[in-house]
Amino acid sequence: MTIDYERDLLKHHVRTNAWLPLCQKRLKVLRLNDTSRQKRRLRYFTFCAVGAVDVLMLEVAQVIKRSKAGRFDTVVFFDKNSDLVQKTQQRIPGAIGFPGDFVKVVLLDDPDDGIVIAGQDSLLPQVNYDDDLRVRQRQILVDQHHGFIRHFPFDVINLDLEEFLFKPTEALPGQVVNAMRKVFEWQGRSFVTPQNGREQYLDGFSLMFTTRIGPANINEEYLGMLRGYLEDNLRNDETLLPIFQERTGGIDSIANLQQNNFELFFLLATPKVLSSILIESDWYIDPETGINIYEFERTTPGVVPYKMLHLVMDVKRQMPFRVFRPPRVGLAWDVQEAYRTVVHQIFTKCEVTVTLENIDQVALQESLDRIIEQRRLYYPDDE
């Protein structure tokens, strides 16, 4: 039995209570910082699935706006194959879709990462290479890779992968982590809008990240990495130990937390992974809002129940940009202070546990109905 993610009210509670306010706030910041007469539209990357519920929710809320030609051309998404991309584009016409494995496309070994040229055709026959199946498949991947890079940066990134962050079969730190490194690196690229034609850089963006807790067979390499993050925090800030013990019901060490309450161990460590990737990529988490975490359990007949984590945060650019900082310069004071603040928040701020008993099911269903009705404007045959 498959899960109907689209109509899952627990998931929709996260959409409306976590994702939507974050995106509304980002749009407000964008508007305040945009001095042009014709304000640019929000740039959004997502794994929206065929139903595109998150995109249409943001359109209903007037966060995402279509072009004058009626196109969702500031929305970029991935899906598993061309057929699913086409079906999604029927529901959000004009959105830019990439078929294939997101991680594989992002992590393609490509020496031209930094010099992707607009209009360059990666599918033309390559000099000194046979035009065989293997070469053509490589060319298709390169074309997707370059095409995706050209759309950076995004004001909002929604990494709703609905899978494990860590896979025991992959070498440390895992391919999803390395893909995020690339994505956050590309967020530093410049972009030009038709409104003013000037080269611009983002000084911040909003990030939503979804992962399953686990897996149950996560290996010692990954566990050691996660323990290391949390142990470093306790070692470097003596005020955290009593906070940690209060949060964990008196547990006195990270190793004991892992053994006795793996879910809380994973929940505390995962934000540290994101924070560390962002900092090494020239960004950091905005301490004013920190990281908000939502958790709910999926229970499907015939499937072992599992828990989902949804993390939402605002991200700021380290100033000056890395390319303008001398070598061997450590983190700026404000970045260090922001990191310490966020670490304290991770230990002290409890996650929001979402259940059918503590959500407004009637209001959420009405919200879903409005979104589905909006979708029928573009795809009348929608069920």
Q: Per residue in 184-241, pLDDT tens? A: 999 999 998 876 678 889 999 999 999 999 998 999 999 999 999 999 999 999 999 9
Cα gap 262→267, rounded to integer Å: 8
Residue 173: CB partners within 8 Å, gap ≥ 6?
Answer: 225
pLDDT at 121 over 70: no
Cβ atoms of 145 and 106 closer than 8 Å: yes
Cα gap 160→127, rounded to integer Å: 39
| Helix-helix angle 20-33:53-60, to 10 degrees | 50
Query: What are the structure tokens assigned to 100, written together?
Result: 């294939």
pLDDT at 262 over 50: yes
Residue 153 falls in which region: left (phi positive, over 0), alpha (psi -120 to 50) or beta: beta
Per-residue pLDDT tens digits for 344-355? 999 999 999 999
The beta-strand segments (E) located in 60-155 are: 75-79, 96-99
pLDDT, residue 1, reads 47
- What number of H helices and E strands is found in the chain? 13, 11
Residue 266: CB partners within 8 Å, gap ≥ 6?
Answer: 213, 214, 226, 309
Per-residue pLDDT tens digits for 54-91? 999 999 999 999 999 999 999 999 999 999 999 999 99
Cα gap 65→72, rounded to integer Å: 7
Which helix (H) or strand (E) segment holds residue 221: the answer is: helix 220-236
pTM above 0.75, yes or no: yes
pLDDT at 130 over 60: no
